[in-house]
Amino acid sequence: MLFGYIIREETVVKGKENNNNMIHIKMEGERIAKGDIIFRYVSADEESINKKIEELNQKIQEALMLDADFFSSDIKAINLQIENKIDGLKYRNNISEIEEYKKDIANYVSKKAQIAGDLSSSGAYIRELMLQKKNYQNEIYQGSEYVTAPISGVVSYRIDNLEEVLTVNNFEGINKKMLSELDLKTGQIITSSNEKGKVVNNFKCYIVCLAKSSEARDSEVGDRVKLRLASSDEVMATIERIKEEDDGNLLITFKITKGVEQLINYRKISMDIIWWEYSGLKVPNSSIIYDDGLSYVIRNRAGYLDKILVKILKKNQQYSIVDRYTTEELKALGFEFSKINSLRKIDNYDEILVKPDIEKVK
């Protein structure tokens, strides 16, 4: 098991006043375009203004109920839409969807009040209440500081103050000592901030890890491998950088372009590197013998030893992945057709000798 440190292209955004109370316009994980409003800070008098708006809403609702008998088919249709939205809320657990439903309901109520204000006997009174409500809403809007996205990407409010430390602009400054001094816990979820947010590039990110295996030493920049994450998901990665540390460890930087968004919550993760994948039979290297440039293993079946031709797909210091040759491959090696049919083949659960004595094979 290895540990990976996640490096992203991420831009922290905050207001000039940097107040402590934020209202999220865009939800965590929501995609945005450059210039979109991400969040706003609560205005100084917002709490008292909201109480006044609530009082006005109550008065509007009471006025609407008085003239319920005079409502048009348009208002009845709006009432049905409001009821549908309220029913739909029961089955929503996504914050972004809930916020959208609440906005729709508020818009329907405002539209209903406008129509009722034109038709009912209380029309002038309702219009006056609506005007007061609009004025209060404008006060909130004008008194709030809105923060917009400087770039496109994904919104996150998870801030760990490493956005300018573990950055794509500082690959040269990242080393084993520096990573160790960060003292990060593996798999810990970054806490959300109530002061600022950030925009993250959701098309790519980087994972840096220390490795010292033979596969790591044989790797090169540009190699494609798979990374198995703690969630058991596997993602393709490209080796971007390899840097040798003083203790012999290799600091390897991988770039991934899929699964980026699921890593936004984390800075340090557990992972495995799948250096290569082949489908075949795994045998110890000490079981393989070579004859005239070809590879063989010695199979033992009920005391009868047979020399079996195998194709080596992949090999490390201890094991090899082997498979059978196809008929076409055997022809290319120069075997006659009659000989090909008589070749013995290796199967699962065959007993293979380790360090075989070739002289004992018939």
Q: Where in the chain is the domain with CATH 2.40.420?
A: 281-360
Which tokens go with 178? 């520096």
The reported pTM is: 0.66
β-bridge mates for residue 3, sequence order: 270
Q: Is 177 exposed, middle or buried (0-12, 13-18, 19+ CB in 10 A)?
A: exposed
Half-sphere exposure of 40 (CA within 13 A, CB side): 14
**CB-based burial, 178-200: b 16+ in 10 Å, e otherwise:** ebeeeebeeeeebeebeebbbbb
> End-to-end distance of the chain based on CA atoms, in angstroms?
45
Placement of tokens 């033979």 in the chain: 214
Residues 155/29, Cβ–Cβ less than 8 Å:
yes
Residues 34/152, Cβ–Cβ less than 8 Å:
yes
Residues 119/70, Cβ–Cβ less than 8 Å:
yes
Residue 32 φ then ψ, to 5°: -140, 160
Provide the residue-wise pLDDT of the chain in tens; the chain has 362 residues.
Answer: 899 999 999 999 998 865 557 888 898 999 999 999 999 887 777 777 778 878 877 777 777 666 555 555 666 676 777 777 777 766 666 655 666 766 777 776 666 666 655 555 566 777 777 778 887 777 766 667 889 999 999 999 999 999 999 999 989 899 999 999 999 999 999 999 988 999 999 999 999 999 998 889 988 999 999 999 888 889 999 999 999 998 989 999 999 999 899 899 999 999 999 987 777 888 999 999 988 889 989 888 888 888 889 999 888 778 888 988 888 888 888 888 777 777 778 888 888 889 887 777 65
Residues 78/111, Cβ–Cβ less than 8 Å:
yes
Which tokens go with 72? 């048009």
CATH of domain 281-360: 2.40.420
Give Cα separations from 62 to 67, 125, 134, 239 (angstroms): 9, 11, 18, 66
Amino acid at 186: T
Residue 361's closest CA among 291, 294, 285, 299? 299
DSSP code of residue 297 = E
As a whole number of angstroms, the distance between CA 73 and CA 75 comes to 5
Placement of tokens 């013995």 in the chain: 344
